[in-house]
A = this chain, B = another copy of it.
Amino acid sequence: MGFSDVNDAVQAPATVEEFRDRLTEVIDDLPRRLRQCADYIAANTDRIAVSTVADLAAGADVPPSALMRFCQILGFSGFSEMQRLFRGAYAPGWPDYSTRLKNLKDGGAGSPTALLAEFIEAGRLSLESLATSVDEGVLAQSVQILSAAETIHIIGLRRAFPVACYLAYVFEKMDVPAMLHDGVGKLDHRFALRPGDALLAITFAPYSEETLTLAQDARGRGLSVVALTDRLTSPLAKSADAVLTVPEVDFGAFRSLSATLAMAMAVAVAVGSARD
C-alpha cells in the first residue's frame, strides 16, 4: 500500500507546530523523491508562504508533481492548502516594526530616536546571528562543566561586567553557589578558587587583563574554565576548556550585549535545572 493511498489519509496540520511534528513523523520512511521534498521543506519552511510549487520543486530538485504528492501525504488536499497555513501564520517580525524603525531613524542622525533605532537594530541582528552561529556541542559541554562544579566563579569586567552581574543574580535566584569576582576595592579573591570549582570568564576585545589572568590562574589550579568571548582566537581561549563565542554587533563604540546576555542566561538556567 503506497503513501498516496486514501487509507493513509490523516487530517491536515492546523498549525505550524503540528506541521513540523507531522514532518518529523513521516520523514524517515519516505521514498527517495519524497524524502528530497521533506528535507528541502524542513530546511526552507519559511519560504513556503512566498513560493510557488514550481519554485519549491526546483529548489528540492524534484518535479512539481512529486511535491504535490508530498503535500498530500502530509494531509493537505494540495499545495494551496498547505500554503494557506503558512500565509496565515506569516508575520515578518512585528506588524509595522520596520516602518516604525525607519520613522525613528528619520528623527535625524544623532537624535535620541535615531540612536534608539540603531541600538534596537544592532541588538536584533546580534540575536539573529547568534541563532544561526551557535555551536550546540560547545554549549552542551559548557553546561555540563558548570553543572559539575562545586562553586561557579564568575568574572567579567568593564563592558562585560553587566553580564557577569546578571549571571550572579540568576545563579543566586536558582540557589546555585556562585561567586562574582568584581574587583571592588582592588581585592583579589583568587584564593577562593578551590579544586572542584569552575570559572566562567567573560571578556571581549580589548580583552581585560584581570580576566585573562584569573582564567590562567584557575587553569593552573586545575579548575575547568568556560569562556564567553567574541571569537575563537580570543586570548581567553588558550586557558579555557570550552569556548562560547557570541557574534555581537557594535553600534558606534558600544556593544549591544543582547546576544551575550541571551547566551549567558541560557547557560545559567540550563545549569540551574541540571543541578536540581
Q: Report A's interface with B, CB cutoff 8 A.
A: 16-17, 20, 42-47, 49-51, 87, 90-102, 104, 106-107, 110-113, 115-120, 122-125, 127-132, 134, 136, 139-140, 142-143, 158-159, 161-163, 165-166, 169-170, 173, 184, 252-254, 256-259, 261-263, 265-267, 269-270, 273
Interchain residue pairs with CB less than 8 A apart (10)? A50-B87, A96-B132, A111-B270, A112-B267, A120-B262, A123-B123, A161-B166, A165-B165, A173-B253, A173-B254
Nearest CB in chain B: distance from A45 CB, A: 6
Q: Which residues of B contact A107 (CB under 8 A)?
A: 136
Q: Which residues of B contact A90 (CB under 8 A)?
A: 47, 49-50, 92
Kindly state the separation between the CA atoms of A215 and B210 in the bound complex, as whole angstroms. Answer: 35
Kindly state the separation between the CA atoms of A261 and B183 in the bound complex, as whole angstroms. Answer: 23
Q: Assuming A51-B87, A94-B132, what are 11 further A-B pairs, CB within 8 angstroms?
A: A45-B96, A100-B131, A111-B270, A113-B136, A115-B265, A116-B130, A123-B262, A162-B162, A162-B169, A173-B253, A258-B261
Answer whether A134 and B116 are a contact pair too, CB < 8 Å, given A87-B50, A90-B50. Answer: yes
Among A17, A99, A122, A173, the one with the most B-chain Cβ atoms within 10 Å of its Cβ is A99
Q: Which residues of B contact A97 (CB under 8 A)?
A: 128, 131-132
Answer whether A127 and B123 are a contact pair too, CB < 8 Å, given A20-B99, A132-B96. Answer: yes
Q: Which residues of B contact A269 (CB under 8 A)?
A: 115, 252, 254
Q: Which residues of B contact A101 (CB under 8 A)?
A: 131
Contact among B95, B112, B257 with A270 in the assembled complex (CB-CB below 8 Å): B112
Kindly state the separation between the CA atoms of A100 and B273 in the bound complex, as whole angstroms. Answer: 24
Once the chains bind, are A49 and B46 in contact (CB under 8 Å)? no
Q: Which residues of B contact A102 (CB under 8 A)?
A: 17, 20, 45
Kindly state the separation between the CA atoms of A14 and B94 in the bound complex, as whole angstroms. Answer: 23
Q: Which residues of B contact A125 (CB under 8 A)?
A: 93
Among A107, A265, A273, the one with the most B-chain Cβ atoms within 10 Å of its Cβ is A265
